[in-house]
Amino acid sequence: MPKINVYLPDELAEAVKEAGVPVSAVCQRALEQAVRRVTAIRETALGELDDADLAARMPHLTARARAALKLGIEQAQTEQAQTEQAAAVTTSHVLAGMLAEGGNLALHVLQAIEIAPEQLARELARQPSAEIVVAGDGSRRFSGPAANALEMAVTEATALGHNYVGCEHLLLGLVAEPDGEAGQTLRSMGAELRLTRRAVAAALAGYVHLRAQTGQPAASGDGSADPIAAVAAMVRQELQPLMRRIERLEERAGVTED
């Protein structure tokens, strides 16, 4: 039977040993579930999906996240019409859809870590896709890296304690996925995963704080219900010095990147 090494933080490893957790069985079940979820995403036929279909198949996605995916699917459809080939929806399509949606929190996070959405869109447009996969039945599906990125977005949302998946989580999933073109482009422009996680957490905290101050109803982090312009302004203004202070403290403490 093949062997896969699993690396754990020291504290967690000690806790697992003390509790006598059956690591192999737990990991096997978790991997089986992940494979099923990723395979289901990867094999989802996308040609005729409308917003109701996306809501049914991916119920945890916010309205803005669904809109971003729809825009990415439409871009893939346009490319298919031009090439007359059934193409996969790639990580680049997903990221392009987020950029085209235009009002989600992920865009403010990108600006906070000094990545201009317009420049990012130009970088994506210049790169030919290597994720194109033609399905045997001629339908359009998510590429392997895109399916993995969506799964990682769910994982990132869960780690933050959220019961929804917004565009900010999609951004984290794209950055975390190692093989997709979108993640490679984002990382080359400075979107290191830990930095991006901190930026998302800080942006969400600011978003909730300002909603409370202005008396607006609560909403998902990507601003699905009437985004407030002051939120974006606060994120841009407050997040940058916070990030710089954290980086200086980590440098002094000798903390290395993950």
Q: Report pLDDT digits (tens) over 137-150.
A: 556 678 888 888 99
Beta bridge mates, 61: 165
Q: What is the pTM of this model?
A: 0.70
Give pLDDT, residue 224. 45
Number of alpha carbons in the 13 Å side-chain half-sphere of residue 208: 7
Has domain 51-251 been given CATH number 1.10.1780.10?
A: yes
Residues of the chain below pLDDT 50: 210, 217-219, 223-231
Residue 224: how many other CB atoms lie within 10 Å: 21
Give pLDDT, residue 242. 57
Give pLDDT, residue 74. 87
